[in-house]
Structure 1
Amino acid sequence: MSSSAASRPPWWAHAARPTRPAVPWALLVRAAVGTAVPLFVGLACGRLGFGVFAALGAMHATLNDRMEPARLRVQRIGTAVGASAVGMVIGGALRHFDVPLLAAVVVLTLLGFASGALSATGPRGSAAGMLLLVSAALGDGMAPAHPWWAAGPLMLLGAGLVLLLGLPYRPARPADDPRVQALAAVYEALGGLLTALGTPQGAAARRVLTARLNQLQDLLQDPLSSLLPRPRRTRPTPSPLPQESAHLHHLHRAYEAALAASEAATGLLWAWRPVPPEVAALPSALARQLTSPASTAASTPADSPPNNPASSPPDAPATSKLPDWSPDTPARQALDAALRTAADAVAGRAGDPATAVHAAPAPPPDPWRLRARLLSRGSARYGARVALCVAVAEAVTAGLPLDRAYWVPMTVAFVLKPDLGSVFLRAVSRAVGTVLGVALTAALLSLTTEPWLLAAVAALCVALLPYSAAAHYGLNTAVMTPMALVLVQLGGQSGVAEVGPRVLDTVLASLIVLVFGYLLWPERAPHRIEPRIVTATGTLRAYLLSVTGPTLKDPAPSQVWLRRTAYRALADARQEVRHGLTEPPPAGRQAEAWLPATAALERLGGAVAAYAAQLRYGGRRPEPAEVTRVLAALEQLATAARAHRPPDGRTERPPGPHNPARSALAQAAGELEQLLR
């Protein structure tokens, strides 16, 4: 065992360690008010059952609420709660029409397949698929509303209240826009990476930057190009843009500059070359400028003539300028050009055409993409996985004297949500968190059953969900369990004596998932990692071919998107390895075996960035032989991943900075061949 492996914490330490996210106070307040209002109104009107279903809708909306523009919030929450309402109506229909047991099991199993297939299509599909099955199980087990079909509309009503509470958020100034905040976070992370160049902390700083870029990309996922003005061929002087279009244009330019600066910084990280402290401090200054209270540059038309006094508002803040320095390598020259462009973009200036970075936003979403993913092999496999566990859960609960049998399939749906990491970790954390939550609920219900107080407790638990979900799955379960039990208590269906069986239900559901969705299911940690490795090699291949293509001095827009796609695929592969490390042996050891490959691919991304700088600024011409070596190594690594064979070699970072006279690609090819030998 290598020294690095010996010093790495055991799998259970990875699994138990919570994160410490920032407290989203606005989301917490919104969640508490959105849950408390329907419960209190229901109590005041004597229709508490209606208030409980509306509070469930508010809770499901809270699980999917984010600090983002209103249109994205409506899409995210509407998709999730819409699926939840459909599931509640289906479950309520099964109960209301007293559907025979076998038919109900078949319906829920088919719904489980649809839920799993939908969950595998992406984050929004994952939320919608989980809530579809959860609400169907709840609707089949809870006492129905009167009339029975009213539960779904009541949930939509509760979710609508959460949406309305977020509408007053509309930013009063551009600096308050969540996209601007995310952009500022990107520049802060970029400054952290530049500060860490040439130190052992560089790799961790690069991963932070990639995560911030991923977050910003998600916020900008709507095609910006459709909102920006089209180029005019007949009018030499463009007219001022509408305020919102100018704001989006400003964000777009600053985002492009951040992408270019990130590429240059990644190349410098690979080359182990630091930059002067005053240069490393510029991105943080740009982040402060973006969020400055006096910042009005976002509303300035970015295509205004550079010498027009009207293009700089009198109350605009002082702009940050790149200090005088002499970049002596191609990668440093690339960083210099990108930072100058970033300073111009953040300030709302047109910029110097000589240093402009030409980029493009993500391509518009394909309207058939969801359909293709829903019908893909991966979605079908995950749908079959969920359907199998639901069928087993229904069969087991039908043969056992469980008073609230819906709790078992509901727990199965929560544990099998595909984008929350290791299934093993979630199953164990769910059981432990439920025990803690049940203990807290039992203590509470032994002290009081006052409805008004219980409604306040339920609202408090929902308010804690945004923080606990980001901190740890077990903690989230410990918060969600009291909330669910209190809502059931308010509906008149529970009491202190019925709290204990929920532990048995949860343990039973966790065992079903561990056996049929984990131990007996072939798709465990390495089988999730290896497709990510194959995807990462493919995106790096496309990025390398775009770098060595015909547009060297002026990178094509497609190259920018290929670069971003490659870095995101690398982050996804690293994330899957990290999730695999939380599983016990042998799955944890197999995940650990892929760590060198993911590290090598991340270093290759930096080497390609450094090589791109050499081609653009160093006068180097493409080297077909070295490109062929790297492509052959990438294909060999992808073949090994498809065959479930982690490479046995190890690569070490060469001592000292990279010599800019040497080909960065040649060194990268040598490192990959060393890994694969």
Structure 2
Amino acid sequence: MPVALMVRAAVGMAVPLAVGLLVHRLDLGVFAGLGAMHATMNDRAEPGRLRAARIGTAVLASALGMLIGTALQHADADGLVLGVVLTLTAFASGALSATGPRGSAAGMLLLVSAALGSGMPLPQPWWAAAPMLPVGAAFVVLLGLPAGAPNRPAADPRNRALAAAYDALGRTLADLGGPRAGASRQVLTARLNQLQDLLGTHRRDRRERQDHRSRQNRRARMYEAALAATEAATGLLWARRPVPPEVAEVPNRLAAAVRRGGGEVAVPDWRPDTPSRQALDVALRAAADTVAGRDTRLGTAPAPPPDPWRLRVRLLSRGSVRYGLRVALCIAVGSAVTANYPLSKSYWVPMTIAFVLKPDLGSVFLRAVSRSVGTVLGVAVTAALLMATTDEWALTAMAAGCVALLPYATAAHYGLNTVVMTPMALVLLQLGGQSSAAEFWPRVLDTVLASAIVLLFGYLLWPERPRHRIEPRLVDATTALRAYLDAVVRGAGQDDGPDSGPNSGQDGGRTGTAQVWLRRTAYRSLADARREVQQGLAEPPPTGRLAERWLSATAALERLGGAVAAFAAQIRYGGRVPDPAEVDRVRRALDELTASARAHRPPTAPSAPTPPTPPATAATPTVATPAPHDPTRSALGRAAEELEALLRTRPDD
């Protein structure tokens, strides 16, 4: 339960509406409250600048969409003009949504606000609706400033994210060799992804860097130490070799020390008997030194800066254009339907289309079904509330209560999010004087109509199949893994040998520095591929069947990442020299898997020649799991066997 976000959301909604009531300008208060709601939808526990940038991007897009919609309504545009403008806006919204998480939020609100502005009652003057959205959002940002100020270590979102990563590492170590180890590693990867986003995008001016240099450098080094420990843990996970409980407890103590702002953390004296365990021991001791504030050689470097041309390239990419056309088609169909059939709130259909047609947020099919069911429940809740009272102050309290639940509902389930958002939207319409209780149930019909349009024109008839989402992610993952493997092999050639010492052998030199971020890129790409496969599994046939056929490849690639990490530990601490034949076997298998993904030919063989683990949950289908690895044998050779077994059988089609 994100209590701080929930309280901030309730106050952010209640105050603009209350001010509007007190000054008898509820028309402006409703739009300010709408801006506060849009800010709440994009609020996160982040550093102040990062949080303001995330909210600002989304709300500015929302204000632009509102200006477009209100201008159309003020000009009394006919159905044809309205449909054309909304279709063009939908194309821009879809193209922007494909650029990443921030673009996705901004693109959705651009279209949602344009649809709302074309139908909601206009304030006086009409153009004041758009500026009131940033006003309400700015109030939410101001409410969150104390939470984002790093006056105390435990209050800094970056410290909390670092502590969460160490906690996840401790859970992974505790689960080594058990059935929950794979799920724990996925959580660990997600925590590191979040931490990387918080640290990698944060920028300070020169004066702030001078004032906070020691603190920033220390946090960065703690993060780098966590990356080294994660690599060692991933190698142990692949080898299915547990560690003593007192060793698995060390990351949890490191997390507690990070929350306190530092302190000594003792690493128990144990006897690591394999290269991967030795790598873990060295990494944990280095992490304890960084948390305590001592200098230690990590052999890492800050993450490469983002490419300033990335947004432009992705805006003009094939995927962005395809998704933009997909959204535009659905909006065009929705506009044609609303223009030819008498709907009391014609903007509800395009607004629902914008919310449902978001494949980056999960299964479109499940979102359409959840939206319809959630709207029914939300309308029932709203009708029950309005039967009790229609007092404006009571409605203001209802809206604040609904928006307070939004941060929790958004993270919990899309259907629950709809149950919360529907009463909030209907109450705002009631406050604006546009709706009555009798008009609420037609919103169910509008929602079902919009969901049907999305399912037919944006899901069934559109060539946006899993091969356009899953297979490109798998290509990225195989490419990143191949680059990581090449860096490990090159690093072995530059090391001084097995007696060079743990620190000098740990990612030493320029190749070692590149190896750190190639490894991080590979693990992140694997997490993206896993997410796309899991979203595809939730789709009905044939989408679900195709995703299931790629599941074994995703699991094999995840294990390959662990095998390369174990192989790197064997090189550093075991003195193993890479066998060119083994390296070439893995490269050939990766190249073959990449070619299969590009040719839309998923493998159907089991991912390892060993019996499968006991049945897992429905969300995590059972895949074959390798037996414990013999540390005297090459980890890379074992990985080559697994990939070759995966690729041995091909589907007939």
Quickly name the TM-score band, shorter chain normalised.
over 0.9
Deviation at 1:97, TM superposition (A): 1.1
- 2:295 is aligned to 350
Deviation at 1:389, TM superposition (A): 0.4
1:526·1:587 contact (CA, 8 Å) conserved in 2?
Answer: no
3-state SS in 2 of match to 1:357: coil
Match of 2:166 in 1: 187
The one-letter code matched in structure 2 to 1:350 is D
Task: Look up the equivalent residue of 1:559 and give its one-letter code.
Answer: Q
**Residue number among 337, 349, 364 corresponding to 1:396 in the alignment:** 337
Match of 2:74 in 1: 96
- The answer (yes or no) to whether the contact 2:480–2:522 under 8 Å persists in 1 is yes
Corresponding residue for residue 672 of structure 1: 643
Alpha-carbon offset, residue 227 of structure 1:
7.2
Aligned to 1:557: 513
- Are the equivalent residues in 2 in contact too, given 1:272–1:658 (CA < 8 A)? yes
Q: 1:216 to 1:496 in 2, by over 3 A?
A: same
Q: Look up the SS of the partner of 2:212 in the other structure.
A: helix
Q: SS of the counterpart of 1:320?
A: coil
CA–CA distance in structure 2, aligned partners of residues 518 and 222 of structure 1:
34
| Matching residue of 1:17 | none
Change in 2 beyond 3 A, CA 1:477/1:656: closer
- In structure 1, the residue matched to 2:239 is 271
1:217-366 matches, cutoff 5 A: 217-222=196-201, 242-292=210-260, 295=261, 297=262, 317=263, 319-351=264-296, 356-366=297-307
Structure 1, residues 605-655: CA drift from partner, whole Å, max 9, x if none? Answer: 000001111111111112222111111111111111122221011133766
SS of equivalent to 1:650: coil
Matched, 1:575 2:531: yes
Assess, with a 3 A threshold, how the Cα gap between structure 1 residues 261 and 653 changes in structure 2: closer, same or farther: farther
Change (3 A) 1:118 1:656: closer
The 2-side partners of 1:227 and 1:535 are apart by 36
Secondary structure of 2:600's counterpart equals coil
What SS class does the counterpart of residue 594 from structure 1 fall into? helix
TM-score normalized by the length of structure 2: 0.92
Distance in structure 2 (CA, Å) of the matches to 1:44 and 1:262:
56
Aligned to 2:418: 477
Q: 1:656 offset after TM fit, Å?
A: 4.7
Q: What's the CA shift string for 1:571-605, capped at 9, x where partnerless?
A: 11111111111112222122111111111000000
**CA deviation map 1:188-236 (0-9, x unaligned):** 111111111122221111111111111111111226798799xxxxxxx
Q: Distance in 1 between matches of 2:290 and 2:207?
A: 16
Q: CA deviation at 1:329?
A: 1.4
Contact persistence 1:596–1:650 (CA under 8 A): yes
Q: Secondary structure at the match of 2:134?
A: helix
What residue identity is the alignment partner of 2:365? F
Partner of 1:216: 195
What stretches of structure 1 of length at least 5 have no aligned partner?
1-22, 230-240, 298-316
1:127 equivalent in structure 2: 105
Does residue 521 in structure 1 map to residue 462 in structure 2?
yes
**Separation in 2 of the partners of 1:619 and 1:79?**
51
One-letter identity of the residue aligned with 2:635: A
> Using a 3 Å threshold, how does the CA distance of structure 1 residues 205 and 250 change in structure 2: closer, same or farther?
same
Partner residue in 1 for 2:399 = 458
Q: Distance in 1 between matches of 2:206 and 2:259?
A: 23
- For residue 326 of structure 1, give the secondary structure of its aligned residue in structure 2: coil
SS at match of 1:532: helix
The change in CA–CA distance for 1:447 and 1:225 in structure 2 (over 3 A counts) is closer
CA contact (8 A) 2:480 2:521 kept: yes
Q: Distance in 1 between matches of 2:525 and 2:228?
A: 18
Question: Which residue number corresponds to residue 178 of structure 1?
Answer: 157
SS in 2 for 1:217: helix
- Partners in 1 of 2:199 and 2:541 — Cα distance? 40
For 2:360 and 2:158, locate their aligned partners in 1 and report how far apart those are by CA, in whole Å: 23
Cα distance per residue 1:236-275 (max 9 Å; x no partner) = xxxxx84522111111001001001100110011111111
| 1:661 alignment partner, one of 609, 614, 632 | 632
Residue matched to 2:18:
40
* Candidates 375, 387, 390, aligned match of 2:316: 375
Are positions 1:535 and 2:476 aligned together?
A: yes
Moved more, 328-337 or 169-178: 169-178
Counterpart residue identity of residue 571, structure 1: A
Q: Quote the residue 1:197 is aligned against.
A: 176
SS in 1 for 2:200: coil
Work out whether residues 609 and 645 of structure 2, in 8 Å CA contact, stay in contact via their aligned partners in 1.
Answer: no
Q: Quick one: distance in 1 between partners of 2:207 and 2:317?
A: 34
- Give the distance between the partners of 1:584 and 1:148, measured in 2 at CA: 45
Partner AA of 1:538 in structure 2: T
SS in 2 for 1:548: helix
SS across alignment from 1:549:
helix
Q: Which moved more, 1:117-126 or 1:564-573?
A: 564-573
> What amino acid sits opposite 2:229 in the alignment?
A
Task: State how 1:431-442 maps to structure 2 within 5 Å.
Answer: 431-442=372-383
**Aligned equivalents of 2:592, 2:538: Cα separation in 1:** 28
User: Take 2:179 and 2:444, find their aligned partners in 1: how far apart are those partners?
Assistant: 46
Tell me the residue number matched to 1:312: none
The aligned counterpart of 2:452 is: 511
Task: Report the residue type matching 1:439 in the other structure.
Answer: A
Other structure's SS at 2:526 match:
helix
CA contact (8 A) 2:66 2:130 kept: yes
1:472 and 1:342, CA in 2 relative to 1: closer, same or farther beyond 3 A? same
Contact 2:409 2:420 in 1 (8 A): yes
SS, match of residue 469 in structure 2 = helix
Q: For 2:272 and 2:597, how far apart are their aligned partners in 1?
A: 40
Q: Deviations over 1:49-88 (max 9, x none)?
A: 0000000000000000011111001100000000000000
Which residue identity does 2:583 align to in structure 1?
A: V
Counterparts of 2:206 and 2:554, CA distance in 1: 37
The answer to whether the 8 A contact 2:608-2:645 is kept is no
Residue 280 of structure 1 deviates from its aligned partner by: 1.1
- Paired with 2:366 and 2:479, the residues of 1 have a C-alpha distance of 30
Contact preservation (8 Å) 1:227, 1:245: no
Q: Which amino acid aligns with 1:594?
A: W
Over residues 549-571 of structure 1, what are the superposed CA-to-partner deviations in whole Å (9 max), with x where a residue is unaligned?
A: 14453152221111011101111
Give the match for residue 123 of structure 2: 145
Gaps of 5+ in 2: 496-504, 611-625, 649-653
Q: Is the 8 A contact 2:222 2:290 kept in 1?
A: yes
Matched letter for residue 83 of structure 1: A
Does 2:142 match 1:164? yes
**Aligned-partner SS, 2:435:** coil
Q: CA deviation at 1:450?
A: 0.6
Which residue of the partner structure matches residue 37 of structure 2?
Answer: 59
Q: Is the 8 A contact 1:529 1:576 kept in 2?
A: yes
Distance in 1 between residues matched to 2:231 and 2:207, nearest whole Å: 25
Instruction: Give the 3-state SS of the residue equivalent to 1:146 in structure 2.
Output: coil
Tell me the matched-pair count: 617
> Could you tell me how far apart the structure 1 residues matched to 2:476 and 2:568 are?
21
Look up the equivalent residue of 1:424 and give its one-letter code.
Answer: F
Distance in 1 separating the partners of 2:559 and 2:252: 25
Contact 1:422 1:579 in 2 (8 A): yes
Letter in 2 for 1:324: D
Q: 1:131 deviation in Å?
A: 0.1
Residue 660 of structure 1: how far off its partner (Å)? 2.0
